[in-house]
Amino acid sequence: MQYRTLGRTGVQVSTLALGAMNFGAIGRVPQDEATAIVDAALEAGINLVDTADMYGQGESETIVGQAIAGRRDDLVLATKATMPMGEERNHRGNSRRWLVRALEDSLRRLDVDHVDLYQIHRWDPTTSDEEALSALTDLQRAGKIRYFGSSTFPAYRIVQAQWAAREHRLGRYVTEQPSYSILQRGIEAHVLPVTEEYGMGVLAWSPLASGWLSGAVRAGREITTSRATVVPERFDLDVPANRARLDAVEQLAKLAEQAGLTLIQLALGFVTAHPGVTSALIGPRTLDHLHSQLEAAGTVLPADVLDEIDAIVAPGTDLAPGEKFDTPPALLDPSLRRRR
C-alpha cells in the first residue's frame, strides 16, 4: 500500500480508501460481512474509512462503528452530512442548526467522540458559506472534528468557499470528494486545477464508475453489477451515452490485457496517477470484491498506457454528462436563467 499526505493536513492516508456506502441496506452487506471487509482492508494497509449519515439513513455509520470498535486510533475516520435524514424539512442542509445535530447523531452511531474528517455532502444553495463554515469551525474548535471538507462541489463553489473562509477568518475546507474515473474525467478541466491551487486533498469516489470498470459490464454478457437494479437507466444500452461507455470499456479491457493488468487495476491506477488525487475510494460489497481491488494498491501505470487511455477517453471528458452531480442549478432549472 502507498500513502500520501491529505492535502496540507500532514495526515498520511492510503492511496486506496474504504468507502462504506454499501454497508447495510444499500449494498445488502450485514454487520459480520462488513466487519470482515474492514478487517481485511486494515490488514492490507488501508487506513481511511469513509461513510455518511445518509447511507441507509445512519445504518452504515452504525455498522462502521461496530467494525472499528477497539481500534479507533488506528484509522482516519470520515463521514458526511447535508442530505435529507427523514421527512422533517430542517433535518438536512448545511445550516448551523442541522450540522450540529447531524454531527452529534453521527458520533453516537459511530460510537466515537470525534471524527477526523467531516464533509459537506453537497453544496446547499439555501445556506451561505459563512453559516456553514462558522458552524464547522466551532465544531472543530470543540474537538468534535479534526478537519472538514466538501464533496461534489462545483469548482466555482470551491473557490467561493475558500474566499469566504479567508474573508470571515474561518476554517476552510481542506479536502474535496468528487466523482472521478476514466469514463468521467470532467473534473480534470475545472475541479482538480482548483483543488491543486488551494492544496486540498482529493478523495475520488466511484473510480470504477458504478461497475462499468469492474468487468461487470461487457459486450455480449449479462450485466452483473447490483447498481443496474437500482438505477437501470444508467445501464440501458439503448441510451447513446451508455453505448459510448461500453465501447470505451471494450477498448480499455483490451488495453489492460496488453499491459498485463486487470481492468480494475487499470481503472484504479489511472485515478491514483493524477497528481491532484490523494486516494481512490473503493466500495466493495464482498471480500472477493475487496481483494480484486486491493490488487491495484501498488499499480503504477506507465506513460504509454496513460497515453492510450487518453486516446480512448479524452482528458476532461464526461462520457455520461447527465450523471454529473456538480451541475450548477441554473443549468437544471430553466426559471433560474430567465429574467422575470
Catalytic residue among 55, 118, 147, 173: 55
CB 214 within 8 A of CB 263: yes
Cell output for 47? 487506513
Cell output for 199? 492544496
**Residue type present at position 303:** A
12-14 and 16-19 strand pairing? unpaired
Q: Look at residue 19 and give its three-state secondary structure.
A: strand
Residue 198 bears catalytic tag: no
Residue with cell 482528458: 315
DSSP annotation string for 98-149: HHHHHHHHHHHHHT-S-EEEEEESS--TTS-HHHHHHHHHHHHHTTSEEEEE
Q: How many angstroms separate the Cα of 207 from the Cα of each of 131, 278, 330?
A: 32, 13, 27
Active site residues: 55
